[in-house]
Structure 1
């Protein structure tokens, strides 16, 4: 299935509901959604671990399935939780092309557009095909040791290579498309998608990348040399990181999967062959979302105007005319 297959909306018959794990707070929301969707003639499928962790007999009464079953049967999925819940669902379902709609029950919610209080009201627009599909790239991180592949993982936000729990810096080499770029001594390196540019990368002074820009950002974490700055490259690039010196280094994907690293390990990162599809409500704007989440519209405290004499006193009476 691909995202375009559900538009026009008369192709939507089965909707999966996915909730935050280890939280019983979502049970009421899941029940409300499931009942409303059934009333509209939809087939409802609850993600298996969501149902089991909800602790609700009502939720367990609905048909349940794992992510493979959802990928094979669902026309779209509604995710209730925060960005972490959406990240997990997107990684699991991207290869199946199942579009995702996010209901925010977390904190910031950069990827979960809909407030819980509005989730039933927006179903009319959703099922009428008025939601806007948007493709989001994923990264594939392959870890090699002694020439053998240890594991391979997906990331929607970022791949992070860090020094681990010990205080000593990690030392690594970065190659892009086989070309040596630099040696880095730092707390680590973030390899971020545009989606992840407002996550960990942002807190490390990485650039904000618009989701429709085909790019990957390489952001050093507390580099020993201040000249090591973030770099943005094409998402067609093949990125290779070699561990030169480390004690307890690890590679993390979306902060939800971790692999211990050793000196000599190589992490190869590339864009995945498939993308995640997010569905946004009518009127959605990426820049409006940024203004709201990052408080760009907040007004500074209004200060009284200073007289010329007060300005001279503040500047020590300096003559600025020249």
Structure 2
């Protein structure tokens, strides 16, 4: 008997291919006797008579498993909303790269069926919490499964800031910005910025400067429990922006303080039984094989 009974579905409602996969998945699950629950946005994309509809956050309370149909961006959004509920996520790739959504659309019945039968791998990932304060008062907060990025926004100008890790001063930097990334995000924007690939099981965070004015400023890998404080410099022409997974955005001012640390709630990702991180890197990053 399956450990999963109520299954939530989240999909890219603006994508015709994702909607097709959602319909196929819904039919498969209902035939198997599972209760299907859709979030509001997903339900708006196709007629789903008799299916329970709720908010994305509520899925975490109602479901034993949530299946995300879309690209990595769709799974990142689901992770930010659902991590605090400890509901596992399974991804079906209807995006481009698909590092996190690793079941192909033509394998839905086979691979999802195996997961429901208990043949799967569970992987724990941590997220980051970010907050911005001004004159000691909070003005914004967000969370990220991939990364928190500080950048100049719409202007092509260097920005200046002070970086502290665990209360210790690291440097004053002038650059195009800074990426603070989890192991999950190390194969995303941080990789494009010259950061290292980190295995998902690592309890570590990488700090990647974006085009630093001092060329000796290189990526730094620190403990996952590290706490970061970034103080926006007084001499900035551009007002630095802060984004979480490229989604939530806050515009800072000189003197603002950004704090980043590990989120207390972890995310459980579900993979097919033969999932292999290195094979994923080979296929997605076009690594050479014999």
State whether TM-score is above 0.5.
yes
TM-score (norm: length of structure 2): 0.96
Equivalent residue of 1:10, what SS?
Answer: coil
Taking the aligned partners of 1:149 and 1:21, their CA distance within structure 2 comes to: 34
Does 2:203 match 1:214?
yes
The one of 218, 226, 239 aligned to 2:215: 226
Q: How does 1:93-242 map to 2 (within 5 A)?
A: 93-242=82-231
- Give the conservation status (yes or no) of the 8 Å contact 2:39–2:54: yes
CA deviation after TM superposition for structure 1 residue 164, in Å: 1.3
Q: Name 1:313's counterpart in structure 2.
A: none
Equivalent residue of 1:121, what SS?
Answer: helix
The one of 238, 248, 264 aligned to 2:239: 248
Equivalent residue of 2:2, what SS?
Answer: helix
Q: Name 1:77's counterpart in structure 2.
A: 66
Q: Name 1:280's counterpart in structure 2.
A: 271
Taking the aligned partners of 2:155 and 2:3, their CA distance within structure 1 comes to: 53
Q: How does 1:298-313 map to 2 (within 5 A)?
A: none
Taking the aligned partners of 2:221 and 2:145, their CA distance within structure 1 comes to: 17
1:124-153, Cα deviation, whole Å (9 max, x unpaired): 211111110000110000111110011221
Does 2:28 match 1:36?
yes
Taking the aligned partners of 1:140 and 1:124, their CA distance within structure 2 comes to: 34
CA deviation after TM superposition for structure 1 residue 298, in Å: 5.3
CA deviation after TM superposition for structure 1 residue 35, in Å: 1.1
- Give the conservation status (yes or no) of the 8 Å contact 1:27–1:59: no
CA deviation after TM superposition for structure 1 residue 190, in Å: 0.2
The one of 279, 286, 289 aligned to 1:295: 286
Q: Name 2:262's counterpart in structure 1.
A: 271
Taking the aligned partners of 1:167 and 1:103, their CA distance within structure 2 comes to: 37
> Where do 5+ consecutive residues of structure 1 fail to align?
1-8, 300-322
CA deviation after TM superposition for structure 1 residue 174, in Å: 0.3
Taking the aligned partners of 2:156 and 2:111, their CA distance within structure 1 comes to: 48
CA deviation after TM superposition for structure 1 residue 105, in Å: 0.5
Does 2:15 match 1:23?
yes
TM-score (norm: length of structure 1): 0.87
1:143-172, Cα deviation, whole Å (9 max, x unpaired): 111100112211000000011111221000
Q: How many pairs were matched up?
A: 288
CA deviation after TM superposition for structure 1 residue 60, in Å: 6.0
- Give the conservation status (yes or no) of the 8 Å contact 1:172–1:242: yes
Q: In terms of mean alpha carbon deviation, does 214-223 or 25-34 score higher?
A: 25-34
Q: In terms of mean alpha carbon deviation, does 265-274 or 15-24 score higher?
A: 15-24
1:236-289, Cα deviation, whole Å (9 max, x unpaired): 111011100332310000001111111111100000001111001011110111
Equivalent residue of 2:48, what SS?
Answer: helix
Taking the aligned partners of 1:84 and 1:23, their CA distance within structure 2 comes to: 13
> Where do 5+ consecutive residues of structure 2 fail to align?
none
CA 1:60–1:157: 2 relative to 1, 3 Å: farther
